[in-house]
Structure 1
Amino acid sequence: MIADHLTGLEQFEAGLWKIADDLRANSNLASNEYFLPIMGLLFLRQATNRYYEALAAIEADKAAGKRPDRPLVEADFQRRRALMLPEAARFDTLLRMPKGGRVGEALTEAMKAIEDSFLPLKGQLPKDYERFDGGLLERMLRLFDSEALRTASGDVFGRIYEYFLAEFSKQGAHDNGEFFTPPSIVQTIVNVIEPDHGIVFDPACGSGGMFVQSSHFIEDAGQDTMRRVTFYGHEKNETTAKLAQINLAVHGLQGTIQAGNEAITYYKDPHELVGKCDFVMANPPFNVDEVDAGLAEKDRKRLPFGLPSVNKAKKVSNANYLWLSYFYSYLNENGRAGVVMSSQASSAGRDEAIVRQKLIETGAVDVMIDIRGNFFYTRTVPCQLWFYDRAKERDPARAEHVLMLDARNIYRKVTRAIYDFSPEQQKNIAAIVWLYRGQSDRFLELVESYLARAVAEGEAAAGPLAAFENELGKLIDLAEPFATETRDPDPLADIWDELKSAQATVSADIEAFNAEVAARAAAWPGAARDNPGLNAAREGLHSIAERCRDLTKQIDLAAKLAGRIVDVAVKELEARESVLWANAEVNRARRALEGARADAVEALRAPRYFVKQADWLQERFPDAELRDVEGLVKRVSRAEITAHDWSLTPGRYVGVAPEEVDEDFDFEETLRSIHIDLKGLNEEAEALAAQIARNFEELGV
């Protein structure tokens, strides 16, 4: 399962940087002068995507009789978190402009039209495209019409903003510990604090990703974001603040974002939100030094625990605990906060430890989560998530405990350099927090959803499996006249027999798989939804998961054997010269078989995947109640924290996770598969060596 906010972006970014190189080479502009115009084009691309998504939803409602047949108005699109784009501002309209047309003028007019129709964006969009070469703008438009961006979801805007920050080497941002927060971390914060009402504040809002993900959470619950919450933000970089407003607008959202010198949180509180916020969420810059202690100390209401360490130059030597104090001070009596923080902060000593002790003694510190490195796109540093809950202060039983969760072993590898949480991993982390809060019903609902999905995916696999069986049969039928021709010796004989046997096994296994899925699907509606019932249903689905594993291996084997038949026939027996071999048809059938194999394997992966998610939860929490799990989670008392010098580092409490054994590893089948591959590689190597020898002979060497 690939992260939707990253799908296809690596290839796209390479092309994006080529355009940036074009801009740099063919203009007199500095990088910061063409950064915003490029982001403006990305805004048009995403705004157009969302416009057509909303339009399709509106038309579907009209067809279903859910809305009257009347002219569309802005509110129709706002309800679906989109802008009602004027036709001249839609990306496809601009793409249809005649080659060599006045693209720069058209883009500028498009931006003006959007600002005129959506006042919160007034003065925020770039409107200087006429200074760029028309041919270059046309190439940029075509680049932004890639499949990756036409179908992209998630905070793509923020992701590409981060890419530009890295590539343009904006050291002012990165050297101060500021970087874009990956969506999976933001979503994890949102899942824990659940920002569904009131004032939502981000005092280091960057490109606005925290607001966007909060909106997704609210919309997924069937609520209207702008009726439920009010967004406030600080962003000292004015260009970044514009991007945040644009990012909000493309999602049909509005917020009040203060920018520039008035938004330097260390010294200013422009929105005057102390004690007023229902939710605070942020990824502030880590480990900032040289904050003026005198200026910071003037606003004592935001520093309820006093200043952390101040050096001889009257500077705060590390601002982490300034931020941690600010987040606490902004919350109202029931407010929650979720904060990304340097891993160093949770066990920092000296004056930082004194501030941390005071913070813990309030009872507001609720959850601590350790995150491994490589989650940030441009930094390999690990981090921690801190969570506050001011309502916890007034509950003596809860105030005495903190949930320590070490998620460093929870991740998926998206690329060689980037890790994240899958959507299910995010939900599983949230489920642990639900148990901590006594919400076993939500835990069981999640388990139930995984099992239901496993059953549904099992039923859905019938189509791809039938397609694979059909394509395998086609290729075998095409190859059979040549493959069964009498020859001595016959290099195809053993492979052919093995292929026919594999075909029969695959057909029998598919029939058995479909029969068992049908039986489980019939039994599922009557399964009890309590914990014992779901445990029993989950265990009953293990046989389907095992069939998925075994059938995948058989399908891979059959496809490889079919490929070997073709390779041997063509390379060793010169099948192309035979009237019994329809080469073009065989090649088409082989390509079709590979596509069908990939689809079938993916279809079989899904049921097993969701059974494994249910296993992960119920094996660790078999009674649907929170318990300590070695290496993962522990509910820690204040006495334990005191004994550990007030440290809030989860790894110090939860212990080391036991090494997991992969029970699904099948050595024999893996070795057999490797043998098939190795045999083919050896034959290719022999052929290549022979060709090299012939070349040397021709050269007279």
Structure 2
Amino acid sequence: MSLTNNDSQTMTQRQLESTLWAAANALRGPVDPGDFKAYVFPVMFFKWISDTWDYWHATALEEWGEELTDEIEADYQPFVVPDGCHWSDVHQTVTNVGVTLNTALQRIEQANPDLVGVFGDVNWANKQRLPETALVALLETFHEVKLDPNHVKGDMLGAAYEYLLREFAEASGKKAGEFFTPRHVVHLLVKILDPKPGDHIVDPACGSGGMLVETINAVSEAGGDPRTLRLHGQEINLTTSAIAKMNLYLHGLSDFTIRRGDTFREPKFVTKGKLDRFDVVIANPPFSLQNWGAAQWSNDPYGRAFCGVPPAKNGDFAWIQHMISVMREDTGRVGVVMPHGVLFRGGKEGDIRQCLVEKDLLEAVIGLPNNLFYSTSIPVALLIFRKTKPAERQGKVLFVDASARFAPGKNQNTMSDADIETVHAAYAQGEDIDGEDGLHLRLVDLEEIAGNNFDLNIGRYITTEAAVEVDVEAALAAYHDARAELRAAERVLDEKLKAAGFSA
């Protein structure tokens, strides 16, 4: 019997998921649910690396026997596991388990440059944060399962990882918005952008890497070779960037680049002082980000403020302009999730919005249902930009109201596969629909948009009950914006009058 087939019993998806969730439950009490991911994912990844190493060691030993050398085995192993850093070495430790685990993870990273940062920054030796009893319970839960190719197929492990991401998102509530975008939203956005074999793809706010994983799935389902894709992501949060790396590895990917850093202040995909360009640029960035770095954008060396510098207290249009700046001239397309406020807010944002519309870069505005996200219950929209729009859409913007296409849920609403297919078909066809299949859409000339002072509120172009509700929100927000601008103007006037010698 083959050595690699000993004790071989493929787990079912449900068995694997229940085991992984049991590992998370081992932390309940001492660890906040919002922090489960920082502890569970590194241990899971460590177990996977160790079990995979065992699997390929057995394979090499079976094929080479006594002739096996370290040099030969290196060709089999995807990762180096230094002596004393195997799962069994940590699991057998009786005291100061966290110290042993810390050392093992650090040495594995040092031996594998591609894995630097992948385990995050948890101090496993800190017993105040994680009691040793909880750590041992976590290790014991994973010790019971084999995560090698004999027992868990690649797609199963990736799916189980996404299951944990979803469960952690539900457990951590609003904090989940930092790292997780609901799968149905990702699926719709990727379907619209239609990644092709050979495409270079980037997510400048990649979170846990779900957008990048979905591009692989989309190309595979279309019959293409996903290995030809070049995936790139940037993420400012250390733990989340580590999760993204693990996510891609566990989905069987190896040719990707995840870099940690601030996309606005220090974009990481730069060559000879110029931003790298990509076929597909996709993101669900943090909404209305404050202190995002407006001061530096006044003289941005990469020219990203081509339509103006966004307000210092709201980075929504900074994301949009950055993403447009890195899409390729011929094939480039951008898909970004945004709050409805970007469609109507005035001031600097209104000027930037007008500029983008006049440059004919905006192809579509797709309004999604309320309460789809863990981080916010407000309605959001997908904005689609292209460097070169199809001839029939040049000089026009497609507005789609998909707010009625959802299934209500206990905590969040969801969009079914049928909902996604319907919305995508409507986007692709671009023909006016009035209520058919729960959708409304119109292809609107830029002249009409200019007549509305470049307000992109969906309710201005499509009249539905949902659009009217959003219009009320928009009117209130516009009112508050106008009040703020008036107060600012009054302060400037007061200062000028005082300077001229007039007293109040």
Tell me if 1:645 matches 2:448: no
Which residue number in structure 1 is paired with residue 287 of structure 2? 286
Quote the residue 1:240 is aligned against.
Answer: 240
TM superposition shift of 1:121: 0.9
Alignment of 1:500-649 (within 5 A): 626-630=431-435, 631-649=439-457
> What secondary structure sits across from 2:429 in the alignment?
helix
The Cα shift of 1:633 comes to: 1.9
Correspondence 1:40 to 2:42: yes
C-alpha separation in 1, matches of 2:190 and 2:15:
22
1:121 equivalent in alignment to 2:112: no
1:303 to 2:300 alignment: no
| Structure 2 Cα separation of the partners of residues 73 and 369 of structure 1 | 52
Q: Distance in 2 between matches of 1:647 and 1:112?
A: 52
Counterpart code for 1:243: I
Aligned position for 1:349: 346
Q: CA offset at residue 359 of structure 1?
A: 0.5
Which letter does structure 2 place at the counterpart of 1:330?
A: V
Alpha carbons 1:44, 1:89 under 8 Å: kept? no
CA distance, structure 1, for counterparts of residue 181 and residue 363 of structure 2:
22
| Letter of the 1:195 counterpart | P
Residue 627 of structure 1: how far off its partner (Å): 3.7
Query: Is 2:294–2:310's contact at 8 Å kept on the other side of the alignment?
Result: no
Residue 651 of structure 1: how far off its partner (Å):
3.7
Contact 1:289 1:318 in 2 (8 A): yes
The 5-angstrom pairing of residues 63-212 of structure 1 reads: 111=105, 115=109, 119-125=113-119, 129=124, 135-141=133-139, 143=141, 152-153=159-160, 155-156=162-163, 158-159=165-166, 162=169, 166=172, 178=178, 180-196=180-196, 197-212=198-213
Please report how far the alpha carbon of residue 387 of structure 1 lies from its aligned counterpart in structure 2 after TM superposition: 0.7
Q: Identify, as 1 or 2, the structure richer in helix.
A: 1
Q: Is the 8 A contact 2:230 2:255 kept in 1?
A: no
Is 1:384 the counterpart of 2:367 in the alignment?
no
Give 1:89 deviation, angstroms.
9.2
Is contact 2:308-2:348 (8 Å) kept? no
Determine the structure 2 residue equivalent to 1:323. Answer: 319
Q: Which among 396, 401, 422 is matched to residue 401 of structure 1?
A: 396
CA contact (8 A) 2:199 2:228 kept: no
Q: Distance in 2 between matches of 1:131 and 1:649?
A: 51
The residue that corresponds to 2:262 in the other structure is 264
Question: In the alignment, is the contact (CA less than 8 A) between 1:188 and 1:426 conserved in 2?
Answer: yes
Q: Is the 8 A contact 1:336 1:390 kept in 2?
A: yes
Mark the CA change 1:264 to 1:111 in structure 2 (over 3 Å): closer, same or farther: closer
Query: Do the aligned residues in 2 keep the contact of 1:370 with 1:651 (CA within 8 Å)?
Result: no
Call closer, same or farther: CA 1:642–1:94 in 2, change over 3 Å.
farther
Question: Identity of counterpart residues, as a percentage?
Answer: 24
Task: Give the whole-Å Cα distance in 2 for the aligned partners of 1:422 and 1:77.
Answer: 40
- What displacement does 1:336 show? 0.4
CA distance in 2, matches of 1:649, 1:73: 61
TM-score (norm 2): 0.68
Name the structure 2 match of 1:412: 407
The one-character-per-residue Cα deviations of 1:509-556 (angstroms, maximum 9, x if unpaired) are xxxxxxxxxxxxxxxxxxxxxxxxxxxxxxxxxxxxxxxxxxxxxxxx
For the aligned residue pairs, the C-alpha RMSD in angstroms reads 4.4
Letter in 2 for 1:266: F
**Closer, same or farther in 2 for the Cα pair 1:378/1:352, shift >3 Å?**
closer
Q: Which amino acid aligns with 1:421?
A: M
* Cα drift, residue 131 of structure 1: 6.2
Quote how far apart the aligned CAs of 1:369 are. Answer: 1.1
The equivalent of 2:335 in structure 1 is 338
The answer as to whether partners of 1:368 and 1:649 remain within 8 angstroms in 2 is no
Q: C-alpha offsets along residues 223-270 of structure 1, whole Å, 9 cap, x if unaligned? A: 443422242x222222322222222222223433332xxx32333333
Q: Aligned equivalents of 1:431 and 1:285: distance in 2?
A: 28
Deviates more, 1:295-304 or 1:628-637: 628-637
Deviation at 1:285, TM superposition (A): 1.5
**Closer, same or farther in 2 for the Cα pair 1:632/1:344, shift >3 Å?**
same
CA distances 1:25-57 after superposition (whole Å, capped 9, x unpaired): xxxxxx97x8633321243577799x79x99xx
Which amino acid counterpart does residue 453 of structure 2 have in structure 1? D
Structure 1 Cα separation of the partners of residues 423 and 77 of structure 2: 34
Q: Describe the SS at the equivalent of 2:338.
A: strand
What is the alpha-carbon distance in structure 1 between the residues aligned to residue 179 and residue 418 of structure 2? 25
Q: 1:305: how far off? A: 0.7
Deviations, residues 588-647 of structure 1 (Å, cap 9, x unaligned) = xxxxxxxxxxxxxxxxxxxxxxxxxxxxxxxxxxxxxx3423352222222232233323
Measure how far apart 1:391 and its partner are: 1.5
Matched letter for residue 240 of structure 1: T
| Secondary structure, counterpart of 2:114 in structure 1 | helix
| Secondary structure of 1:257 counterpart | strand
Check conservation: 2:23, 2:40, Cα contact below 8 A. Answer: no
Q: Secondary structure at the match of 1:21?
A: coil
Larger Rg: 1
Q: Distance in 2 between matches of 1:425 and 1:8?
A: 29
Query: Which SS does the other structure have where 1:654 is aligned?
Result: coil
Q: Which residue of 2 aligns with 1:216?
A: 217
- 1:285-311 C-alpha deviation (Å, 9 max, x unpaired): 2112344433121116111111234xx
The aligned amino acid for 2:310 is P
Tell me the amino acid that sits aligned with residue 385 of structure 2.
Y
SS at match of 2:321: helix
* Aligned residues between the structures: 414
Whether the 8 Å CA contact 1:155–1:212 is kept in 2: the answer is no
**Structure 1 residues 371, 163: closer, same or farther in 2, change over 3 A?**
same
**Structure 1 CA distance for aligned equivalents of residues 295 and 31 of structure 2:** 44
Aligned to 1:497: none
Q: Distance in 2 between matches of 1:208 and 1:195?
A: 16
- Letter aligned with residue 249 of structure 2: A
Q: Is the 8 A contact 1:178 1:286 kept in 2?
A: no
User: Counterparts of 2:386 and 2:453 in 1: how far apart (Å)?
Assistant: 22
Q: 1:267 to 1:23 in 2, by over 3 A?
A: closer
Contact 1:303 1:322 in 2 (8 A): yes
**Whole-angstrom distance in 2 between the partners of 1:399 and 1:102:** 65
Structure 2 distance, partners of 1:295, 1:85, is 43
SS at match of 2:263: coil
Q: Give the secondary-structure state (helix, strand or coil) at the position aligned to 1:327.
A: helix
> How much has 1:23 moved relative to structure 2?
5.2
Q: Distance in 1 between matches of 2:292 and 2:209?
A: 24
